[in-house]
Each structure stands twice: as C-alpha cells, then as structure tokens.
Amino acid sequence: MKTYSKYLTAIFLIAISFCKAQQLIETVKDYDGNEYHAIKIGNQIWLKENIKSLHYTDGVPIPGVVAYNNDESMASIYGRLYTWDASMRNSNKEKVQGLSPAGYHIPSDAEWLELENYLGGASVAGGKMKDPGTTLWKSPNTDADNSSGLSILPAGEYDAYYSPNKFSLINEYAVFWTSTEINSSKARERYLGYNSSASMIYDWFKVMKYSIRCIKDDGTTDLDDKGNIRPADFILMQNFPNPFNPETVINYQLPKSSHVSLIVFDALGKEISRLVERELEAGNYSLIFHGRDLPSGIYFYTLNTGNQNLTRKMILIK
C-alpha cells in the first residue's frame, strides 16, 4: 500500500508540474480580433497558436498572405502562411515585431535554440512541441506528447520558389520562419516532421510561405505575485476591429502603478469621451468603446500616464 501511495504521489506531482509548464499567462488579440494564448516555457513566453492575421497591428494589409489551399476553414485550424519579407514587414533585423501582435516578435534562430535546449535538445524537442495523435498529424507522429504545451500542428507550406507554385506537406510538416536572415534571398526556418522527434533547421528561399509562431518581447517575461505578466513598457494597442461599428476594444499595458487618463477625441481635437481617469496598478487592461451616438469619422484615443503620452487613430463607419 505504501509503494502504491508513493506512485500516486509521484504521478500527482508530475501532473502538477506539467500543468504549471502549460500555465496560460495571458491572452492577446491581433488587429483582426484573432485570439492567441501565451504560455511560459523556461524563461520565454510563446504563443500557443500560429498567426492568422491578415493585417499588421496598424491595420495595413499583409501582402501575399494565404490560407492552405486558399481555404479559410484551414486558417482557423492551422493559421496562415506568409513569406519571410511579409512576416518581417520588410525588415532584416532579428526579433522584429513584423506581423506579430503588440508586445511580441518573430523569434530568432537563437531563441528557437533556447527553446530546444530547454526541452532537452533539438533531437527530441520536436516531439515535445507537436500536438499528439494522428488525427491531424500523419502516422506515426513520432514521439509527439506536447509536453511543452505549444500544440504545434502540421500546417504545410506554399512553395513559391519551384514551378509550378503549389501548396504541399499538410499533415506531414510544420514549417516556421525565424527572424534570422542568411543572405538577400534566404532565411532560416525551423521544421517538425511526422516521422521525427527532432526540431530541425533549414535555410531556404524567402519567397516560400510558412507558418509564424511568435514570442514575447525581451524584458516582458517578469511575473507578478499572481503569475501574470508585468509589462516592461507602456503600450497602447491598436483597437480592434478597426474600422468599427458600433463598438471596439482598446487594450493597453502598464509596467508600473500610474495615474492613467484614456481619452477619445474627434478629428478636430474635441474631447468625446474620458474612458479612464484614475490610479491603476501595473498590468494588462482592456475596455470597450461604444460609438453608437457618434457620427462616422476618424477619432483618436490617447493614453496619458504623466511621463507617457501615446495616441492611436480609429475609424467609425456606420
């Protein structure tokens, strides 16, 4: 009985450890309102889902973005596919935001390596990242247990280099761009396969369209006593949806306790609504702005914390 009790205790402790490893830290949304969940893995915070966005955070359309087979139902499962230049927003700087939600960026080769090492090394990390089973992954889906919590699915690719251009590898491979450039025509990728437990590297042409998985910006992985992210910077995010009718969501982040004013102005600078005017603790905040009684037009919302003054534009269309 004592031995049996010890086994139960061990299993219970392992289960607790596993749940902590997959603890949801925060939920973020992109410009289009797609929702992503963040988890802490070692000293990093990663999003659990592939990016689905059609727009950058300021509302500019992302060029060349596709869903697999141009089927929108596939995007809801696997996310979308992007060229390297589009994902980086034509930058060649590592860790650039690119198409990532505010506060996140395209992970570098070194950041992928840190993840792999935390999961036991590149030779086994793939299995710990892959969603288990063979419903979406082709059999045998070698060593897939998702112990990382990343739930990676085989989203395939769009081959825009070889002719004829085509979608391929769905259910067999998950391929991700890193933000590490190799030369003017190639960048580094990470890929996981149905028949391997490894996380693998390849340097290939930037015109290929791959999945994107994002990581939290440096300096924003500090947690408060409740296990929530303590932001490193004041951030005022783009409202979503935008344009909107009749309501829209505004998110902002505070790295420390501050007296906060959040005010909406019309295009002539007239104050329309004072959404917040009070002392707030450090953290992530979200509110809904209602434009039911306002005419169509351009409006601005400003976050003021004394030392910081941030403004973004939003459009109401009725």
CA atoms within 13 A on the CB side of 315: 5
Beta strands 186-193 and 35-41 are unpaired
Percent of all residues in the chain with a pLDDT value above 90, rounded to a whole number:
74
Q: What pLDDT score does 14 carry?
A: 36
Find the mean pLDDT for residues 1-8.
43
DSSP state for residue 61 in the 8-state scheme: B
Q: Which residues contact 149 (CB under 8 A, 6 or more apart)?
A: 21, 22, 39, 41, 48
Beta strands per DSSP E along 3-130: 24-29, 35-41, 44-47, 104-105
Q: What is the DSSP letter of 223?
A: B
The reported pLDDT for the residue numbered 225 is 55
pLDDT value at 146 more than 90 = yes
Using one digit for the tens of pLDDT, what is the confidence trace for 36-64? 999 999 989 999 999 999 999 888 999 99
**Cis-peptide, bond into residue 63, ω within 30° of zero:** no
Q: What does the angle CA 105 – CA 311 – CA 279 come to, to the nearest 5 degrees?
A: 95
Does 232 score more than 80 pLDDT? no
Number of other CB atoms surrounding residue 315 within 10 Å: 17
Please give the Cα distance from 263 to 139 (Å, whole number).
55
pLDDT band at 19, cuts 50/70/90? Answer: very low
What is the torsion angle, in degrees rounded to the nearest 10, for the CA atoms of residue 203, residue 208, residue 213 and residue 214? 80
Give me the count of residues in the chain: 318
Write down all domains in the chain, each with its CATH number in brackets: 20-216 (no CATH), 235-316 (2.60.40.1930)
Residue 5, pLDDT > 80, answer no
Cα–Cα nearest to 312, from 294, 293, 295, 299: 299
Say what percent of the chain tops pLDDT 70: 88
* Rounded average pLDDT over 92-100: 93
**pLDDT band at 134, cuts 50/70/90?**
very high
pLDDT, one tens digit per residue, over 235-254 is 888 888 889 999 998 988 88
Q: State the pLDDT at residue 240.
A: 82
Burial class, 224, CB count within 10 angstroms (exposed 0-12 / middle 13-18 / buried 19+): exposed
| pLDDT grade for 141, boundaries at 50, 70 and 90 | very high
According to the model, what pLDDT value does residue 21 have? 46
The confidence score (pLDDT) of residue 227 equals 53
- pLDDT digit string, tens, across residues 267-289: 999 999 999 999 998 887 889 99
Region 135-156 average pLDDT: 97
Model pTM greater than 0.75? no
Residue 306 has pLDDT above 90, yes or no: no
What mean pLDDT is reported for the chain? 89
CA dihedral 102, 274, 248, 64 (to 10 degrees): -40
